[in-house]
Amino acid sequence: MLERKQMAKYQRFGALGSLGVAVGIMLFWLVLFGWFLPQQVSTGGLDDVHAWMTRLTTFFPALLIALAHLTFARQLRTAAVRNSQ
């Protein structure tokens, strides 16, 4: 069985990992949907309206995933502080 101090270390690592996932999902969205995907090219592609619809409809699920991971990070960090005392 892990002691409280050892558990606090793993909880801190878990919180850091959750923060990494939150930042990573937003960077992934920014690169893929904010920049590459909805560009108009000479042979067709998306017009301005469809490009903005694509950006908005993919942004909100990415935002919800990031917010969920920020919540996990906050919970783990709070538990780590309690267990380290």
User: What does the pLDDT profile of the chain (85 residues) look like in tens digits?
Assistant: 678 888 999 999 999 999 999 999 999 999 888 777 656 666 666 777 877 888 888 899 999 999 999 999 999 999 999 988 8
Give me the pLDDT at residue 28, please.
Answer: 92
Nearest to 74 by CA among 29, 30, 22: 22
